[in-house]
Structure 1
Amino acid sequence: MPAELTQRQKEYLRLVARGHTSFEIARLVSTPDTTISPTAVDKQLKKAMAVYQVGDRKAAARRLIAEEAGVQALDPPANGPSMPVLQLLPLPLPTEAAPRQNMTGWQILAWGLIIAVTATVGLLGAVLLLDSLSRIVGGPR
C-alpha cells in the first residue's frame, strides 16, 4: 500500500463499519474543545478511500476491518482475466458483438465439414429407421 492511513482515518472508518453517517461521526468524535464538521469527516474518508483505491466508504471500512483482522486483501486485476477467451470455432451466426461474418477460411471449412457429416449421419439414421419400420410392419422389399 503506497500510503498509510492516519489514526483519525482509521477511527472514522471503524465508525463507518458500524453504520454511522458523517454527521453522526462528527458528533461522536467532537469534544468540548474541538468541533469536527461532517465535511471534515468526508474529507478524511475520501483520503482513506484513495489510499485503499476503492470507490466508496463502506468498501474502505471493510478493507480496514479485514486488514486489522489479519486478512490480506487481494487487489482485483487491472484489466480483466489474464488468459484470453479461446474461441477456435465461433458459431456461424451474427451477434450484436459481431454482426458480420468474420470467420477465417479454416473456420468456414470446419463448419462445412461439421454440417456435411451431421447431415450424412442424420440421413443415414432416417434411412435405417424407415428400413426398420418397414421390416416390422412387413411392407414391400
Structure 2
Amino acid sequence: MKRTGEFVLGIIGAVGYTFFTFIGIILIWFQNNEELMRDSFQRVVEQNPAQLEVMDIDLFISSIQNVSAVSILLLFAGSLIAGIIAMIALRKNKKPILAGILFIGAAVISTIFSGGVTIFAAIFYLIAGIMSVARKPKVTV
C-alpha cells in the first residue's frame, strides 16, 4: 500500500515546522542583541508614535526576554524531528501506526504548548497521522 498522501502531508507540515524553527533561532539571536532591539523599537516608535507612546524601551526588552525562546525552539525542532522520524517509519509502509502516533503527538503537543501558533503545520501533521492510523491495506483472499 502506498502512503504518498501521508508522506506529502508530512513534508508540508515539516516545511511549516522548519519555518517556525528558523523563527525561534531568529528570536534567540534577537534576544541576545540588546542594541538591535533598541534600534528596532525606535524605528517602530517613529513609524507609529500614537500607538506606542505609553510603552518604553525597557518594558519592550523585558517582555521579549521573558519569552523562553530556547524552549520554543526546542518545541518546534522536536516537532520537526518527530515528523521526519514518522516519515521514515512510513517508508515502504513499515510502521504506519508508529508514524501516525508521532504525527498526531507532535501536532497536538506543539499546538498546545505554542498557544496555537503552529496550527498551520499541525493540521498537516494531524491529517497525516489520522490517515496513517486509519488506512488499512486491502486484504486479498
Q: Specify the TM-score bucket, using the shorter chain as the normaliser.
A: under 0.3
- Bigger RCO of structures 1 and 2 (CA < 8 A, at least 6 apart): 2
Structure number with larger C-alpha Rg: 1
Greater helix fraction, Structure 1 or Structure 2: 2
TM-score normalised per structure 1? 0.25
TM-score normalised per structure 2? 0.25
